[in-house]
């Protein structure tokens, strides 16, 4: 008698912890229940994925979805659509909304808004301020919290923690790994007049490499003093890579696809203020240094820093123009193109987008294709050639810095806990997103 599963993915090329090879994957009740030759097994639905690569679900551990407070740029639903269309099964969302996510209630409110409105699974960062140190431990324990985020430079509102003593207070108050925006606020203030009106190419002059290096050096010293783990977001300089390599016991490292793909001065000539983000896109030597960090295994994870703004907002004269660009929908195709061009292997891509986030943040049952794990799969066609276009972008902002870029490698299916959220560029009618569970935060029964 044949066993009946909910779903079998047949004959796909699985990229996993034991290498790359053809196998079938059986799913029941949202979990992976068998991997191997299931040619004799039966299921309610059988999907033939021969010729396609089946990856553990891609996690984008840095997105800004603008809800609450700036829903004209993005909201949880549109951001979740963009993620699923791009092959992303889970996202971690940042706290700089209006109001910011600086209390347990604010975080719980986001979880409630996102559940079954988002097409992917989700977690939220709590934001540290100089005022809420006493409740950071409570925020960390909230279901759906991926950790605490600290802005050491350039944030709006109250989310700026620039002084050493305040950073130490935050680190001492928490148990889990905290994520940092590392640019030195004092240097940024000193150099503000170097941002020349109408000259976006001065963005990396004002926010220079030294501002990043100074802050990361301070941060590593403070984390060491507090005996805490840190995650340094969107590294943008070649100089920080060797520095971070000396502190891998406490520090994990994120790089964005845009810092690996775009470079100054060309990006500012071609894109103008659309290329403006923090920390900035820098020169070729910095991009090369980041790729060296990937090759050396110093970089742990890729995050898109998806930060949408409307066309009207981005068209303002620099420096009035806001920093940030959309990226959750383009992370997979842009990086698969780098794989096809030989800059990294498909296994390293999986390490950076599934195993890496699992290792850093301790997601429960996510990050690999294994029996007993959530059936989160990103199914890709490595030979598909497509052109990324603004009209494909589901984000409310309606643009991408990669408009017109031809890529090889494309997401065909986004499977979230056994549910096909996206298949061949079509979203399912139903959004089934749930909060991610973390091992440092398992529910007590």
Q: Is the pLDDT of residue 256 over 80?
A: yes
Look-up: residue for tokens 């992370």?
A: 331
Determine the Cα–Cα distance for residues 9 and 50; give it in Å rounded to an integer.
Answer: 9
What average pLDDT does this structure show over 181-194?
Answer: 96
pLDDT digits (tens, 9 = 90+) for 389-408: 999 999 999 999 999 999 99
User: Do residues 427 and 120 lie in contact, with contact meaning Cβ atoms separated by under 8 Å?
Assistant: no
What average pLDDT does this structure show over 360-379?
Answer: 98
Q: In residues, how long is the chain?
A: 445
Phi-psi sector, 382: left (phi>0), alpha (psi -120 to 50), beta:
alpha
Strands 53-56 and 377-387: antiparallel
What average pLDDT does this structure show over 233-242?
Answer: 98
Q: Which of 277, 116, 149 is nearest to 203 (CA)?
A: 277
Q: What pLDDT sits at residue 441?
A: 85
What average pLDDT does this structure show over 102-125?
Answer: 98
Three-point CA angle 390, 395, 401, nearest 5°: 45
Q: Which of 377, 395, 387, 295 is nearest to 333 (CA)?
A: 387
**C-alpha dihedral sign at 103, 105, 107, 110:** negative
Determine the Cα–Cα distance for residues 237 and 360; give it in Å rounded to an integer.
Answer: 21
Q: Which of 150, 142, 232 is nearest to 437 (CA)?
A: 142
Q: Is the pLDDT of residue 375 over 70?
A: yes
Q: Is the pLDDT of residue 156 over 90?
A: no
Determine the Cα–Cα distance for residues 253 and 255; give it in Å rounded to an integer.
Answer: 7
What average pLDDT does this structure show over 330-336?
Answer: 98
Catalytic residue among 75, 166, 305, 381: 305
What average pLDDT does this structure show over 102-130?
Answer: 98
What CATH number does the domain located at 4-54+375-425 have? 2.30.40.10
Q: Is the pLDDT of residue 155 over 70?
A: no
Q: Is the pLDDT of residue 60 over 80?
A: yes
Q: What pLDDT sits at residue 445?
A: 66
Q: What pLDDT sits at residue 158?
A: 80
Q: Is the pLDDT of residue 351 over 70?
A: yes
pTM for this predicted structure: 0.97
Q: Please say if 305 is a catalytic residue.
A: yes
Kindly indicate the confidence band of residue 2, based on its pLDDT and cuts at 50, 70 and 90.
low
Share of the chain above pLDDT 90, in %: 96
Q: What pLDDT sits at residue 4?
A: 87
**What stretch(es) of the chain map to CATH 2.30.40.10?**
4-54+375-425
Q: Mean pLDDT in the chain? A: 96
Burial 140-176 (b: 16+ CB within 10 A, else e): bebebbbbbbbbbbbbeebbbbbeeebbbbbbebbeb
Q: What pLDDT sits at residue 28?
A: 98
pLDDT digits (tens, 9 = 90+) for 402-442: 999 999 999 999 999 999 999 999 999 999 999 999 999 88
What CATH number does the domain located at 57-361 have? 3.20.20.140
Kindly indicate the confidence band of residue 52, based on its pLDDT and cuts at 50, 70 and 90.
very high
pLDDT digits (tens, 9 = 90+) for 203-219: 999 999 999 999 999 99
User: Do residues 85 and 46 lie in contact, with contact meaning Cβ atoms separated by under 8 Å?
Assistant: no
* Distances, alpha carbon 77 to alpha carbons 139, 195, 309, 387, in Å: 23, 35, 16, 25
Q: Which of 103, 106, 105 is nearest to 69 (CA)?
A: 106
**What stretch(es) of the chain map to CATH 3.20.20.140?**
57-361
């Amino acid at each position: 008698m044949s066993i009946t599963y909910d779903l079998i993915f047949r004959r796909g090329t699985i990229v996993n912890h034991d290498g790359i090879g053809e196998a079938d994957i059986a799913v029941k009740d949202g979990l992976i229940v068998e991997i191997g030759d299931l040619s004799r097994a039966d299921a309610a639905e059988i999907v033939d994925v021969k010729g396609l690569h089946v990856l553990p679900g891609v996690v984008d551990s840095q997105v800004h979805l603008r809800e609450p407070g700036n829903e004209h740029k993005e909201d949880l639903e549109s951001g979740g659509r963009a993620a699923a269309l791009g092959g992303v099964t889970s996202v971690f969302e940042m706290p700089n909304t209006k109001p910011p996510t600086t209390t347990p209630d604010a975080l719980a409110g986001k979880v409630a808004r996102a559940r079954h409105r988002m097409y992917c699974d989700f977690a939220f960062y709590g934001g540290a301020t100089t005022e809420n140190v006493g409740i950071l431990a409570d925020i960390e324990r909230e279901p759906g919290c991926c950790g605490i985020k600290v802005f050491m430079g350039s944030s709006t509102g109250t989310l700026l923690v620039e002084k050493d003593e305040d950073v130490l207070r935050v680190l001492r108050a928490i148990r889990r790994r905290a994520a940092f925006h590392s640019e030195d606020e004092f240097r940024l203030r000193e150099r503000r007049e170097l941002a020349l009106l109408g000259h976006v190419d001065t963005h990396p002059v004002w926010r220079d490499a030294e501002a990043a290096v100074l802050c990361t050096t301070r941060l590593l010293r403070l984390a060491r003093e507090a005996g805490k783990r840190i995650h340094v977001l969107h590294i943008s300089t070649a100089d920080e890579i060797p520095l971070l390599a000396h502190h891998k016991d406490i520090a994990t490292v994120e790089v964005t696809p845009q810092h690996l793909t775009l470079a100054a001065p060309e990006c500012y000539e071609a894109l103008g203020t659309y290329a403006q983000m923090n920390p900035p896109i820098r020169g070729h030597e910095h991009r090369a240094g980041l790729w060296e960090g990937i090759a050396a295994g110093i970089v742990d994870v890729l995050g898109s820093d998806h930060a949408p703004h409307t066309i009207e907002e981005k068209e303002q004269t620099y420096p009035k123009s806001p920093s940030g660009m959309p990226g959750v929908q383009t992370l997979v195709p842009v990086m698969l193109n780098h794989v096809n061009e030989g800059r990294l292997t498909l296994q390293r891509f999986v390490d950076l987008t599934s195993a890496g986030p699992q290792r850093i943040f301790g997601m429960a049952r996510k990050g690999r294709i294994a029996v007993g794990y959530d059936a989160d799969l990103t199914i890709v066609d490595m030979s598909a050639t497509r052109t990324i276009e603004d009209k494909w972008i589901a984000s409310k902002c309606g643009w991408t810095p990669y408009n017109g870029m031809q890529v090889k490698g494309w997401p065909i299916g986004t499977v979230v806990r056994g549910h096909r959220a996206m298949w061949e560029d079509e979203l399912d009618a139903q959004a089934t997103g749930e909060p991610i569970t973390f091992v440092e935060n398992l529910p007590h029964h």
